[in-house]
Structure 1
């Protein structure tokens, strides 16, 4: 593949799926600086993967998989080098990094998503973006029934957390 074609594909994918990538980045990185670093890591991985993309899945599925795998690896590496910072400062950085108006419910939701383990975090993001159980299972390498169990447990966890911490929502089933 020629570099010009690779560049064209990258630009097209970024124009269409930048929000998808940023959603994953925001779920794994707290500060604006970390989000920038992780976003760059994801873009590098996307760039390197373009020549091997075979159209066996949609570009959004491919980008999700790359974004999630890169974010998981990045989070593991960062956890070993973690420097604590005030949660309020971290939340302000998240809000500042986004062009979306401040919505306290989203701040709460992303805070809760970050507390989940890597697989549950990935399942949650994919579910929120409307992927089917089958698609989620394929992307994460788990069974469809396992996806269903995880989603049910995650929902119960979020409901419990919303009631304990007096979230901006009081969730119920």
Structure 2
């Protein structure tokens, strides 16, 4: 595959699946700086994977798998380094005036998803994007029935957290 062909395929994939990548990034990285770093890591991995794509699954499934695996690896690496670093993002957020109205429910949802373990977080994102249990099982690497059990538990957990938030006025 020539570099020109690889670039064309990559640009096409990115055009169609950019929102998918952003969802994964937002679920696995909290600060804007971390989100930028993770987005770049995922995009680099997608670009490198173009020549190895064998069309045994849809490009959406392929890119989701790359994004999730890259995010999981990135989170693991960040945990090692985060104890020695402190970012200024919190200070910058306080100093800058927010001009965009942020939907508090969406912020709450992403924060709740972020607090889930890696597999549950991945399954939640796949569920929100409308993947079938079979597709989720393939991407995450667990059985279809295990996906169903996990989804039921995740839903109950998020409903409970949501009710607690409403009850306490958080």
TM-score of the superposition, structure 2-length normalised?
0.88
Distance (Å, rounded) in 2 between the aligned partners of 1:118 and 1:77: 14
Equivalence for 2:76: 76
Name 2:149's counterpart in structure 1: 149
User: What is the RMSD of the two structures over their aligned residues, measured on CA atoms?
Assistant: 2.4
Shift of 1:81: 1.6
* Distance of 2:117 and 2:160 partners within structure 1: 17
Q: For 1:25 and 1:126, locate their aligned partners in 2 and report how far apart those are by CA, in whole Å.
A: 13
Aligned position for 2:97: none
C-alpha separation in 2, matches of 1:68 and 1:118? 9
TM-score after normalising by structure 1? 0.86
Indicate yes or no: 2:161 matched with 1:139.
Answer: no
Structure 2 partner of 1:30: 30
Question: What does residue range 22-171 of structure 1 map to in structure 2 within 5 Å?
Answer: 22-82=22-82, 83=85, 89=90, 102-166=102-166
CA distance in 2, matches of 1:89, 1:36: 16
1:121-141 Cα offsets, whole Å, 9 max, x none, are 000000000000000001111
Structure whose CA Rg is larger: 2
Structure 1 residues not aligned, in runs of 5+: 94-99
Cα deviation, residue 102, structure 1 = 2.3
Runs of 4 or more above 3 Å deviation: 83-86
Shift of residue 163, structure 1, vs aligned partner: 1.3
**1:24 Cα offset (Å):** 0.1
Gaps of 5+ in 2: 95-99
Q: CA deviation at 1:166?
A: 2.5
- Aligned counterparts of 1:26 and 1:56: Cα–Cα separation in 2: 28
Distance 1:84 1:154 in 2: 31
